[in-house]
């Protein structure tokens, strides 16, 4: 498999120029002759780039930077894709937060639209561990790919269980493919690729893992999935980023109800679940940062294993289910 298509190569080169962002790249991507455009053509079609390209050294530097990224991909068997490529995930491209370039090592699922994100706290309770394993098994058994973030706790549990169950899993990273964070998950990252799954990043080789990138990574997790299973989270947990994003995309947020044991123990890592399961609509809207109560119809509370089939049915319909689902039904 080629590391990059000819069209995406040119777009990657353009992305290395100062002043070129996703909006500019999308305009160029719509040009059927993008492959043959030279610096002069680009400058003529975009006034903002005229100064940058008047100096030929800037264009040569941009092309050299792009080539370095391509060579880095080739060294580890990865590739760079953009929305012009057939294997760019359609679920992701239909969101408002889709990254223009994706760095991919491994393979997406044969049917990437059958994907569910399973995420949660880095410190799950025993019930959290069990629910992450059970829901992963359930979706894998139904032929779905499991998306997560390679983090400690619920993410790693979901990846490992998917592999153990013979399923497909995708890890979305908040840094370049040159490294693994946390470092202790290097072996897990290799297992994901070796099992037929993929490591995916919107960040180039050399990009370190820094705070804001985790938020964007979480949105990409949601973008790759029909729904997000938020296994457990406290009221300020990072899992809420993907949970908010999935509702913004008109898709399903699936929240397991806390056990009596976790409630009695007042476990901090289930407080977001508890609020979403039993709180009033105003508090739920505040936590999820949504403006209208109607968006809560995409919130599914799982109270027992009997609800799994309902969750699967809803997720299978994506955002096209016209039925109004009341959280109290679950």
pLDDT averaged over every residue in the chain: 92
pLDDT in tens, 217-227: 999 999 999 99
Q: What is the mean pLDDT of residues 253-271?
A: 96
Residue 5: what pLDDT?
A: 96
Residue 302: what pLDDT?
A: 97
Predicted confidence band of residue 324 (pLDDT cuts 50, 70, 90): very low
Residue 130 has pLDDT above 70, yes or no: yes
Residue 322: what pLDDT?
A: 37
Integer Cα distance of 74 and 206 in angstroms: 15
How many CB atoms within 10 Å of residue 267?
Answer: 22
| CA atoms 303, 306, 310, 316: torsion sign | positive
Residue 52: what pLDDT?
A: 65
Residue 23: what pLDDT?
A: 87
Residue 40: what pLDDT?
A: 65
| CA atoms 153, 142, 117, 294: torsion sign | negative
Q: What is the mean pLDDT of residues 46-55?
A: 67
Between 246 and 34, name the one with better pLDDT. Answer: 246
Residue 55 has pLDDT above 70, yes or no: no
pTM (two decimals):
0.92
Domain map (residue ranges) of the chain = 6-84, 106-329
CA terminus-to-terminus distance, the chain = 45
Predicted confidence band of residue 329 (pLDDT cuts 50, 70, 90): very low
Residue 325: what pLDDT?
A: 34
Residue 277 has pLDDT above 80, yes or no: yes
Predicted confidence band of residue 231 (pLDDT cuts 50, 70, 90): very high
Integer Cα distance of 102 and 84 in angstroms: 12
Residue 78 has pLDDT above 50, yes or no: yes
Edge-first strand order for the sheet with 145-148 is 78-81, 102-106, 198-201, 169-173, 145-148, 115-119, 227-230, 252-256, 299-302
Max avg pLDDT among 32-46, 156-170, 299-313:
156-170
pLDDT > 70 in the chain, percent: 92
Grouping H, G, I as helix, E, B as strand and the rest as coil, residue 78 is strand
Residue 198 has pLDDT above 60, yes or no: yes
Q: For domain 106-329, give the fold.
A: Rossmann fold (3.40.50)
Residue 326: what pLDDT?
A: 34
Structural contact between residues 221 and 172, judged by C-beta atoms closer than 8 angstroms? yes
């Amino acid at each position: 498999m080629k590391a990059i298509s000819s069209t995406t190569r040119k777009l990657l080169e353009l992305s290395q120029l100062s002043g070129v962002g996703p909006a500019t790249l999308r305009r160029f991507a719509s040009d059927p002759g993008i492959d043959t455009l030279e610096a002069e053509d680009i400058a003529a079609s975009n006034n903002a780039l005229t100064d940058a390209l008047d100096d030929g050294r800037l264009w040569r530097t941009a092309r050299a930077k792009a080539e370095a990224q391509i060579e880095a991909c080739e060294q580890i068997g990865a590739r760079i894709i953009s929305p012009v490529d057939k294997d760019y995930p359609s679920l992701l491209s239909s969101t408002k937060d889709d990254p223009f370039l994706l760095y991919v090592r491994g393979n997406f699922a044969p049917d990437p639209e059958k994907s569910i994100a399973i995420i949660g706290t880095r410190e799950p309770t025993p019930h959290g561990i069990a629910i992450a394993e059970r829901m992963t098994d359930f979706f894998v058994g139904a032929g779905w790919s499991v998306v997560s973030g390679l983090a400690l706790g619920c993410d790693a549990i979901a990846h490992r269980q998917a592999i153990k169950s013979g399923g497909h899993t995708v890890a979305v990273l908040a840094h370049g493919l040159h490294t693994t964070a946390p470092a202790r998950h290097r072996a897990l990252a290799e297992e994901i690729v070796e099992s037929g799954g993929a490591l995916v990043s919107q960040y180039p080789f050399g990009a370190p893992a820094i705070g804001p990138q985790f938020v964007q990574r979480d949105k990409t997790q949601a973008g790759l999935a029909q729904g997000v299973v938020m296994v457990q989270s406290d009221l300020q947990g990072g899992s809420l980023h993907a949970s908010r994003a999935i509702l913004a995309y008109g898709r399903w947020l699936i929240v397991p109800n806390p056990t009596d044991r976790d409630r009695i123990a007042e476990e901090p890592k289930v407080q977001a679940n508890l609020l979403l399961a039993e709180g009033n609509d105003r508090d739920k809207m505040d936590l999820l940062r949504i403006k209208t109560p109607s968006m809560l119809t995409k919130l599914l509370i799982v109270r027992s294993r009997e609800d799994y089939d309902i969750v699967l049915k809803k997720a299978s319909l994506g955002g096209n289910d016209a039925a109004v689902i009341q959280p109290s039904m679950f």
